[in-house]
Every structure is written in structure tokens, then in C-alpha cells.
Structure 1
Amino acid sequence: MTGNDSGTDQVARSGLVVTVPEAEAAVRAWRDRLDPSVGSGMPAHVTVLFPFLPEARLDGDTLAAISDVIGRHKSFEARFERCGRFPGVLYLAPEPATPFRALTEAVVDRWPETPPFGGQFADIVPHLTIAQGQDDAVLDEAEAGLLDRLPVVTRVASVDLMVHDGSRWRQRASFALG
């Protein structure tokens, strides 16, 4: 999750993510140094929706509704073979990106009060964050260090609901794609 998701002001907040354990070997050393979310327990992931609902709203009916929305989407394979950038941010770009966007759009259609990244950005750009809040020289170094470790390939079969307890992110539930 890009933005300030390191833990500050995240108590009882939630997000929906696709974890990418296959990427950990390639990205972990860079993320440990350059992505504050690692320190609060967030694994390598592509954000589906952040921020999502406050934890207090995550009751049984809501979890069933999330499962229904996610379950309407088919599992798919994603490849990460190139880097992309936002200002101060380096990320791996998944291909295809369309299924990630479709998941985000479906969740937002069901919960329109939860626009991606609080409505800060006009476009949905699926990404796996490597570095945040860094200058171009640091991003250049990280990108050069990653290129020989790509591609990373994963099978996307679920979306995880992550909740922040004030200091760490923890998985609250996992929802299977169809």
C-alpha cells in the first residue's frame, strides 16, 4: 500500500491486498530498507483497496459480502517483469493489470464510500511497492538491483483483508477468487 501506511494514524483501519510471496526473495532486501510498511508487518503485495472499512464495520455480514464480491472474479496468473515509478516511489508493475483493477472497481462499486487511496489519485495503477519517500538516486539503485531478479510470476487466487492494530498489520481474513 503506497502512501503513509507504515502505522501512523492507521489504528483500526483495513485494506484488501493480494500478497505475492513469490516476490519476497527478489524484493525483501530493498523493501526492508526503503518501504516503511515492512516494519509494520505488511508483506509484498498489490493493493486492491486501501483504505477500506474501519475494523468496527468488519462483521460477519460484511465479511460475507466481501467474499461474494471477490468470489465473482476468476483466479489468474500475474507477471512482474518491469519497474514503474510514482514521485518518490518505485514499484513492480503486474501484467496483466486489468484483473487487479477489476477487483478494485468491484469492491468500490459495493462500498463507494471507500475510494482507492482515499480518492487522492484519479487512476487505479496496480503495483507492488518496493520503495517509498526516496529520491531518484535511491530509486535508480534499487531498480538496477532488482532487474536481474525478474520476472516474478504468481498465481492470484485470493485477496487478504489486513487490519492495523496500532503497531502492526495482521491478516483478518482471506477470500478466494472463483
Structure 2
Amino acid sequence: MGETRKAPPRAVGESVLLIAVPEAEPVVGGVRERYDTAAAEGIPAHLTVLYPFLPAGRIDAEVLAALHELFAEYRPFALRFAEFGRFPGALWLAPQPDGPVRELTAAVAARWPEAPPYGGAFDDPVPHLTVAQGQEERTYDGIEREFADRLPFQAQVAEVRLLVFDGAWQRLAVFPLGGGSRSGSGHRTRGAGFR
């Protein structure tokens, strides 16, 4: 189909908050390994909540506790992946609905305004699961044709992971979504709190 793209250099100390989507691996894992630089760096199929997050040197017990508390306010949710989308230079899967992911991103960005999504490069970041990047359009066309019959698939979201780059991506923490007061759909509900 095309040539594998090399991963861009990462800065030691970068961090990312993401939702791992293991349900995507049987569907597009092999393609990601070949055409997605994040897969080559050891990052699983995922939806980005916030990248870049704080530098690793700023992530202390207080930040970890605040993240734990923030994510505990949101209930676990389900997503459906039924169609591909494209950005210039990237092929991705669209989560449906995307509102719960947008809400998590907005909540983290509001709590840490010094860490806007994608460094502030986009006014309205679109939640997406990258399948391939840096390829020619005909490569994306071929991937879509090859994998269309594997869609849709469902994913359950129950946690957010914090990864830090120290020469390789390492999982620093996992934050369970709790039974808090936010449903992840924009509606306030009464919940039992985090347990």
C-alpha cells in the first residue's frame, strides 16, 4: 500500500491523557502497526483526551489526585466505531457519540488551561482513533475498502490513562471513570460518587 512513516522525535517528559480502545486492535491493529507512528512508539489504539498534557516534572501527587477526582465525576460510557474519517495526512475512525470524549477533553483543559489540546493548534479538536498517517490518499482508500466489512465495532470506556515519554512511552497512572455526577453526555445526573 505505502511506505511506513517514521515516528517524529518526542521530547523526554512529554505526557498524554488517552483512552485505550483495545476493541480496535483486532480490527485495525495490523494497519496501525504499519502506518501509525503512535503504534510504532508503543501507544495502543486510542482516543486522545489531551496531548500534550503537563510536562512530567510538573506531574506530582497533587496533579494525580486532581485527575483522579476529575475523572471520577464521569460515568463509564460506550462508543461505536462505524466509519472512517480523514484529516490531511491521516485516516481515522470516528467514535459515536463523540460528546463524552469532548467533555473529558474540555474538563481537563479547563482545569489546566496551560495545556490546551494539541498545544492550541485546533479550535475544535475532533475525537478520533488514528489508523494511518503520512500516507498517500490511495493507501487510505485501500485501507477503507479492506476494513469496511469489519465495522462497526463497540468499545466500553471505563478509564483514562496517563502516559509519559522517557525515551519510550510509559504508563504513569490509570484513572477509573466513576459513578459521579456527570454522565459523559452533557446531562447532569445524580450519582453515588466514586467507589
TM category (shorter chain) comes to over 0.9
CA shift for structure 1 position 144: 1.3
CA shift for structure 1 position 7: 5.5
1:78–1:154: 8 Å Cα contact kept in structure 2? yes
2:192 is matched with: none
Q: SS of the residue aligned with 1:148?
A: helix
Which has more radius of gyration?
A: 2
Structure-2 separation of matches of 1:50 and 1:116: 6
Query: Is 1:170 matched up with 2:170?
Result: yes
- Per-residue CA shift, 1:69-119, capped at 9, x if unaligned? 111111100010110010010000000100000000000000001111111
CA shift for structure 1 position 33: 1.1
* Number of residue pairs aligned between Structure 1 and Structure 2: 174
- Map of 1:1-178 to 2, 5 A cutoff? 6=7, 8-166=9-167, 168-178=168-178
Structure-2 separation of matches of 1:132 and 1:68: 34
2:10–2:165: 8 Å Cα contact kept in structure 1? no
Structure-1 separation of matches of 2:34 and 2:62: 39
1:91–1:128: 8 Å Cα contact kept in structure 2? yes
Structure-2 separation of matches of 1:47 and 1:74: 18
2:190 is matched with: none
Structure-1 separation of matches of 2:73 and 2:27: 31
Structure-2 separation of matches of 1:65 and 1:6: 31
CA shift for structure 1 position 36: 1.1
CA shift for structure 1 position 9: 2.8
CA shift for structure 1 position 146: 1.7
| Structure 1: stretches of 5+ with no match in the other structure | none
Q: Alignment identity in percent?
A: 48
Structure-2 separation of matches of 1:81 and 1:47: 18
Structure 1 outlier segments of 4+, above 6 Å: none
